[in-house]
Amino acid sequence: MKQKKLIVGNWKMNPQTGAVAGKIFDGIKKGIVTFKNTDVAMCPPVIFIPELSKKLSAATILGVQNVSASKEGAFTGEISIGMLAQFKVKYVILGHSERREMGETDFMISKKVESALNAKLSVILCVGEKERDEECTYLEMLRLQIENSLLNIPKGLLSKLVIAYEPVWAIGEKATGRIDPAGLLEIVIFIRKVLSGIYDQETAHSLKILYGGSVDEKNSEGFMKEGGVAGLLVGRASLNPKKFIEIVKIAENL
Ligand code: PGA
C-alpha cells in the first residue's frame, strides 16, 4: 500500500521575529494547495504559533519542536500539550538530536511520546546515530535508541507515530557527510526490523518513516523514490519558501 507522503519543516530557532515568521509561512502557504498524496506540516518556534495558527489553510498543518510530558503545574519554562491544542497544533517533533544533545534521554523522550500520543497529537520521533564506525556498532545504538524511546508505548497508540531517521553527521551546517538513497534504504529496512521486534511485522510496515539531514530540492526525489521513506524532515530548506514548496511538489508528484 502506498503511504501518503509527509513533508515537515523544522524551523529550529529561526527566524528571529514574528514578522519574518509570518512572511515565511505566507510564502509557503501560497504554494501549497490541498495535495492528494502529501501532508505538509510546519514546525516554527512555539512563540510564533498563536499568530501563525490564524493563518492556517486547509492544506497547512502546524507542529512544534518539543512539548512537556506533564499536563500542568510546577514545570518552569515548559509548554503543555493542552496549551498547544487551542492553537490547532497537530504535530510534535520529539527526540531531535539537538535536544538529545541538551540532555534529553531516551527515557524522557518516551514519556513525551506517550503523553503526546495519548492526547492524540501526532509524533515525529527522531532517531539517528552520531557517527558511523566500520564495525557497525552504530546499528546497535540505533536499535537501543528506538526501543528505549518507545518504551511502554502500546501498539494501540501507534497510528499517530512517525519515525524520522536523522543521522546526526548529515544534519545542518556542521554535517560531515551525506547519505545516499541506497544507504538510506538499508537503514529503513533495519528500522522496520527493529520495530517488528518490538511490535510485529504488520505494525512495522504500517509506520511511516521519514528522512532528515541536509534535505533540499535537489536530493529529495532520490530519498523518497529509492530510499524507501514516505517523506522528509527538512531543516534549513524549510525556511526558504521556494525550496520548501519545490520539495513538497516533488513528493506529491512521485
Ligand atoms: P537540515 O536539518 O535539513 O538543516 O540538515 C534537519 C534537521 O535537523 O531536522
Using a pLDDT cut of 70, give the percent of the chain over it: 100
**Mean pLDDT value across residues 91-95:** 98
Q: What is the pLDDT of residues 10-54, one digit of tens each?
A: 999 999 999 999 999 999 999 998 889 999 999 999 999 999 999
b/e string for 133-156 if b means 16 or more Cβ within 10 A? eeeeebbebbbebbeebbeebeee
pLDDT bucket at 80, cuts 50 / 70 / 90: very high
Q: Compute, in angstroms, the gap from residue 237 CA to the centroid of ligand 1.
A: 8
Tell me how far the alpha carbon of residue 225 lies from the centroid of ligand 1, in angstroms. 20
Is 166 a known active-site residue?
A: yes
- Give pTM, 2 decimals: 0.97
Does the pLDDT at position 64 exceed 80? yes
- Residue spans of the domains in the chain: they are 5-68+77-253
Residue 166's nearest CA partner among 96, 226, 229 is: 96
Pocket test for ligand 1, best of 219, 234, 247 (most atoms within 8 A of CB): 234
pLDDT category of residue 82 using cuts at 50, 70 and 90? very high
Strands 38-43 and 89-94: what pairing? unpaired
Distance 12 CA to ligand 1 centre (A): 9
End-to-end CA distance of the chain: 14
| pLDDT per residue as tens digits for the range 190-245 | 999 999 999 999 999 999 999 999 999 999 999 999 999 999 999 999 999 999 99
- Mean pLDDT for the stretch of residues 115-137: 95
**Is the model's pLDDT at 1 over the cut of 70?**
no
Are the beta carbons of 6 and 223 closer than 8 angstroms?
A: no
pLDDT at 98: 97
Compute the Cα dihedral for 162, 129, 222, 190 and give only its sign: negative
Q: Does domain 5-68+77-253 have CATH number 3.20.20.70?
A: yes
Atom of ligand 1 at shortest range from CA of 97: 8
Q: In the prediction, which pLDDT does 2 show?
A: 80
Active site residue 96: yes
The mean pLDDT value for 92-104 works out to 97
Pocket test for ligand 1, best of 6, 8, 11, 12 (most atoms within 8 A of CB): 12
